[in-house]
Amino acid sequence: QVRLVESGGGSVQAGQSLRLSCAASGYSSSTSGMGWFRQAPGKEREGVAHIDSDGTTTYADSVKGRFTISQDNAKTKNTLYLQMNSLKPEDTAMYYCAVLLQPQITYIQALGLMTGKWCGYNYWGQGTQVTVSS
């Protein structure tokens, strides 16, 4: 079964950085993409960043240029990262690592992720809290 365990969250000041990690197992990296989404109290889930099975990345407009998604090994892809720089108070949320059971997101899904309207993952972990204070 798919198992996803996030780590690396914490409390930081605005402008600082955090690196989230996700230990992943039980899925096929050749036929699945992975991503991060977040959810703040009282708000909808928001897709943050996605990486296709071929390494193509897509980012929400709200984090583009500040966040970077990556995987540790092109072959095993068993650890997913999210490097978050120049953090803002509005980035405060629970962050989840997720798996999408398709190798590439579609054009429509990518547009939705970029605008914060798509978050259609099949599996996700328990989450790690990120709190950014001003």
What pLDDT shows up at residue 76?
65
**Residue 28 — pLDDT band, cuts 50, 70, 90?**
confident
What pLDDT shows up at residue 75?
62
Residues 69-87: tens digit of each pLDDT: 999 865 666 899 999 999 9
**Across 91-118, average pLDDT:** 95
Q: Is the pLDDT of residue 2 over 70?
A: yes
Q: Is the pLDDT of residue 50 over 90?
A: yes
CB 22 within 8 A of CB 97: yes
DSSP secondary structure string for all residues of 44-109 = --EEEEEE-TTS-EEE-TTTTTTEEEEES-TTT--EEEEEE-S--GGG-EEEEEEEESSSS--HHH
Mean pLDDT, the chain, rounded, equals 94
- How many alpha carbons fall within 13 Å on the CB side of residue 33? 23
